[in-house]
Structure 1
Amino acid sequence: MIEFTSFRQHPDNFSVKHPEDVDMDMDMDEDEDEDFLQAGSSKITYPGEYLTSSQAFMRGHGTYVDNEDVIASVSGTVERVNKLVTVRAVRTRYNPEVGDLVVGRITEVQPRRWKVEANSRQDAVLMLSSVNLPGGVQRRKLESDELQMRTFFEEGDLLVAEVQAFFSDGTMSLHTRSLSYGKLRNGQLVAVPPILVRRLKSHFISLPCGVDLILGLNGYIWVSKHVKESDREGEEGFDAEAVYSNRNDDIDDSTRMAISRVTNLILVLASHSVPLTDAVLLDAYEWSIEQDAHIKDLLQDEIGEALVTSIISRG
């Protein structure tokens, strides 16, 4: 006896795909991933977010592969170089390069060297042979110089220096041979994420309010009273007492308020992840003066958002 069995009909929205259709869908997915990565270069991603397929791209730093998907492992910006996808973390330690200008703090005095905390993965080293000493820049360092190292730099001192080289273990070596470098006085230190400090032609900025800025590429910014270059030069072009003095100059109230204003502006811009350049800082200062905003009020949310909106619209 023959029985007839009726097969279930396909629903209306069901369609059978041929192999060439499947390949076309895969190409479309790859194109969508490429569009996402191009648009996401300035987009902040979060840990666990899907980025692309591991079959179409290679994973880099800040990512991992899960079920053939490239997933972000840190919060940061997506960067793509050809087929390599990486995520540059927003909160990370400073990655130094030779020639970078950095601001640091002396943490220890060792034989013929100082250890410097510079917001990197390990402390930097400032050799005694890499600083200016009284009596001439190019003279040899003597035993007497080593005995009085704390008269030049001691624990807690702030300084600006340049990355000179790297040791075999990756520790960066600094130098302060230029008169533009050395001990810092008459100001305030501000710490921001290093990713927000852009590389500029000059990281020494003078604002019209009588405030000097040193934008360290390691995320440490020094805001201080304006000092003329001639004030640091002695009869022989090098005034050791002025360069290595631990005493601050007399600062009038208007300059103190200007330093506080610039400091608060930097904090507001950094809290909104605005890259810091000389033009941005000058625009922010002019905006705060035009709005007649009080120094303390700059830290309020609504004023900070208005400042950032104005800066972005100008840029």
Structure 2
Amino acid sequence: MREIQLSLNKTQKIRLQRALEKLESLSSKVNSHASVTIADSIPVSYEDGVLKGHGTLDFNGEVISTVCGVVERVNKLVYVRTLRAKYKPEVGDIIVGRVSEVAQKRWRLDINYSQDAVLMLSSMNLPDGIQRRRTALDELNMRSIFEEDDVICAEVRGFQHDGLHLQARSQKYGKLERGQLLTVPPYLVKRRKQHFHHLEQYGVDLILGCNGFIWVGEHVEARDDMVGDQEKKPEWQNTKSQKNSMSLEDQERTYTPIETRQNICRIANAIRVLSTLGFNITAELITETVNLSSSLNLDIHQMLGSEFCVLVAEGEAERRSLTKGRG
């Protein structure tokens, strides 16, 4: 993803600094009792017994923090959860990845992790929608499903002897087309109940991958009824009908209207601005940023300017202070 280079004048620097200081003071009131920096002492009760976890060190009879973060306690275990960390996969994570290799009965994906993830042929739905054993013919046709550089949405299945495994056994997973893939620091995307968002007013689908890969693309309707119709036909008829329909219908279906393209670019630039400012990226905050740019009648490229970044920071500081006051 292209980074934003902020060239601020003196006034903008002061405004941005004040907004960030206000945000920091609001967040510190919430976590002041638990936030630590490197070499801070962590109060513990040795009488109950202490298990020192990640980010802690026993030094001269005290438990010292070795990283910046928030102190977490689970029974006797004390550890420090870092605020800025690399992506650590957990079972059930929704991720977006790019195919790096088509191997035997599997695809390897780059998911912004220390190693590539594995998507087995047996761990995904076939295009015909029929639940059956994978055959040698399916293995030969793997490139017709996914090939190198394709962008895919999947779910973390778990760790096995040969690495991290994914699964895509649902209609919401699979190949992503007609959109943009953005990369942000993984710690800016928090794990939530919902990572799939349909921004109806813009005709755009938004997928916030837990691994820091974010997809912004044209909305695609689920076609469960088409899958059901295909299940009733023999496989050779499905293949034949697909070949015959790869003309005008597919061209019309893959055409993205110019208005939708502009919305995709505007939402993508909103994500770039939030990432530059270091804000947690949520669908609500993205929508607010897009609405702010529209209310100011800014062109899409003007969203990457310094003044708009300062306005976003000031607006977020004001919103959080109002929320804090109501609470």
- Bin the TM-score by the shorter chain: 0.7 to 0.9
Q: Which has the higher helix share?
A: 2
Structure 2 residue corresponding to 1:187, chosen from 175, 179, 184: 179
Letter in 2 for 1:189: L
Question: How many Å separate the matches in 2 of 1:262 and 1:65?
Answer: 47
**Superposed structure 1 runs of 4+ greater than 4 Å apart:** 35-38, 53-59, 65-72, 82-85, 237-242, 245-248
Percent of residue pairs identical: 39
Letter in 1 for 2:144: T
Cα gap change, 1:264/1:211 in structure 2, threshold over 3 Å: closer, same or farther?
same
Counterpart mapping for 1:138-217 below 5 A: 138-168=131-161, 171-207=163-199, 208-217=201-210
Offset from partner CA, 1:165-208 (integer Å, 9 cap, x none): 32136x22111121111011001111112222123332111221
Match of 1:226 in 2: 219
Higher relative contact order (CA 8 A, sep 6+): 2
TM-score under structure 1 length normalisation: 0.74
Cα gap change, 1:198/1:252 in structure 2, threshold over 3 Å: closer, same or farther?
same
Counterpart mapping for 1:246-261 below 5 A: 249-261=254-266
Unpaired stretches in structure 2, ≥5 consecutive residues: 1-27, 232-237, 321-327
Question: How many Å separate the matches in 2 of 1:192 and 1:52?
Answer: 31
Query: Is the 8 Å Cα contact of residues 37 and 80 (structure 1) preserved in structure 2?
Result: no
Match of 1:6 in 2: none
Cα gap change, 1:293/1:67 in structure 2, threshold over 3 Å: closer, same or farther?
farther
Offset from partner CA, 1:210-260 (integer Å, 9 cap, x none): 221011111110011122224994562689969xx9999222332222111
Unpaired stretches in structure 1, ≥5 consecutive residues: 1-34
Question: How many Å separate the matches in 2 of 1:38 and 1:84?
Answer: 19
The alpha carbon displacement at 1:274 in A equals 1.5
Match of 1:274 in 2: 279
Match of 2:307 in 1: 302
TM-score under structure 2 length normalisation: 0.72
Question: How many Å separate the matches in 2 of 1:189 and 1:271?
Answer: 16
The alpha carbon displacement at 1:263 in A equals 0.9
Is 1:111 the counterpart of 2:116 in the alignment? no
The alpha carbon displacement at 1:295 in A equals 2.0
Cα gap change, 1:63/1:288 in structure 2, threshold over 3 Å: closer, same or farther?
farther
Offset from partner CA, 1:70-125 (integer Å, 9 cap, x none): 55444x42223167553333443321122211101111111111111112232111
Question: How many Å separate the matches in 2 of 1:143 and 1:297?
Answer: 52
The alpha carbon displacement at 1:145 in A equals 0.8
Deviates more, 1:148-157 or 1:271-280: 271-280
Query: Is the 8 Å Cα contact of residues 129 and 228 (structure 2) preserved in structure 1?
Result: no
Secondary structure of the 1:222 match is strand
Please tell me whether Structure 1 or Structure 2 has the larger radius of gyration of its CA atoms: 1
The alpha carbon displacement at 1:304 in A equals 1.1
Is 1:102 the counterpart of 2:95 in the alignment? yes
Give the superposed CA RMSD. Answer: 3.3
